[in-house]
Chains A and B, each alone.
Chain A
């Protein structure tokens, strides 16, 4: 009757059970799981199967599609859209690095330096979530507009000359360039980086910092040898929570970018909703999923075994 076993109590030794655990129906967990799991199987797992089958179909919208195991769809899709794939990975990676660089100081500030302001700052980090992200993304059109103070300043400081030389911006414009898209991605997914970072920083025992200081570590050394390694779980989950949605995003590329900044999400969206080429769209979506799962697994393995433990 192993199904009856309750979860082991965390303080089992301190709390000897006075009575044997009550007998519960051994089907109870299955009844609890059934509706939710059924929902996920039918509306999450099953669609993946349908999509896999769609990706190897051929035909047309008028005559209908048939499974013909036409794997060339995958090859054609990759051959045609590899620039968008590459762009998605690059933009998402750039946004993730920026999120880490921008988010870490703020998470650190909330965890160790904010004092009684901690709750207020926390609210200010979360509250934008409750305003539609599309409205907030549109606000970047104003911030990055050609005659806005931000772009004017960047122009005056000749920063845009440098970024244009690197191909990140075009001329004296920021809007409709890769920089604008990466800026939007960074902005949109920054809270997903800050929250896990904060969670793992907050768990660090403050006495470890004191100990490092007592052992004559300079603040920077303390950070490098104590704080940062201990915050690795937050870094790993923050990176994943930023990279995955950023790589599949098409909203920022559409609103802040141009035809030259289209990401793979834009292609999937257009193929599915406008061109109605379902096999190609399904194949692209499958490649994206496989690529992200592979990258994530690799990343978790590398950071998981060496740094997380």
Chain B
């Protein structure tokens, strides 16, 4: 029974690959349906091959505008959350201070809270303050929920850092600023980059918190949500496919660069 033995030995691999295909199937559908020419308003059924949507990715009213709003918010949310989060992470790892427990829970709680709860309570605050809902309230909300993820990513990296490297820099008469810029920051950089990347992805893709606090501003996820009710243009799939490709290429490129660097060092 060679087949049964083979099956037994590779059961985990088969199950794992099945899960992987479950994860990737929607992306395949999104890609395939970006070449569809749907009959009605909704792009859920395959009709015939067409390149129309790829030729005119911005052919739908308001879609590219919402994309640009989402990109702007994601960039600023990333900058804000990365800056504030990195500062907190350094304080947590490098210093001893009062109320450490409270600070830690304040960092942890936003990650353990269902989004809809944070979304609803933030809206209550904005309504009570009479704030004008829009770009700025979205940005405030995004920085808030990205912060904790940056702190976690940077903290992990700074904690694993050998403090002797900084001591060595000081022994070699580097000033505090020089030590930080030439030694500490480069070593912490991968953690900061991971936090920033995560922030960007979280902010760009956020729907629930944004939907509560956006007022009449429409981000890309909100555009998609609205189109699920009104009719889904094929261009949505074009954007989805392009985002997937850009992400894969980006990660592949960074890995290739990393590999080459390692090889040069060796």
Contact = CB atoms under 8 A, between A and B. Distances in A.
B44 interface: yes
Contact of A32 (B19, B87, B110, B251): B87
B225 A247 contact: no
The interface size bin for chain A is: 35 or more
A28 B19 contact: no
Majority secondary structure of chain B interface residues (helix, strand, loop or mixed): helix
Interface stretch (B50-58, B113-121, B185-193): B113-121
A94 interface: no
A151 interface: no
B122 A47 contact: yes
Given A11-B162, A289-B114, A143 B25 contact: yes
B257 interface: no
B71 interface: no
A109 interface: yes
Interface string B197-239: 0000100110110011000000011001100100010001101
Contact of A251 (B122, B140, B208): B208
Interface residues of B, number: 91
A251 B91 CA distance: 37
Contacts of B228: 134, 138, 255
B103 interface: yes
Contact of B97 (A33, A132, A245, A247): A33
A136 B31 CA distance: 10
Contacts of B44: 138, 141-142, 145
A129 B201 contact: yes
B163 A7 contact: yes
Contacts of B221: 132-134
A127 B118 contact: no
Interface stretch (A74-82, A154-162, A278-286): A278-286
Nearest to B106: A40
Given A139-B26, A145-B45, A248-B208, 12 more contacts: A22-B176, A47-B124, A106-B20, A113-B12, A125-B20, A127-B251, A139-B27, A143-B25, A143-B29, A269-B211, A272-B212, A281-B120
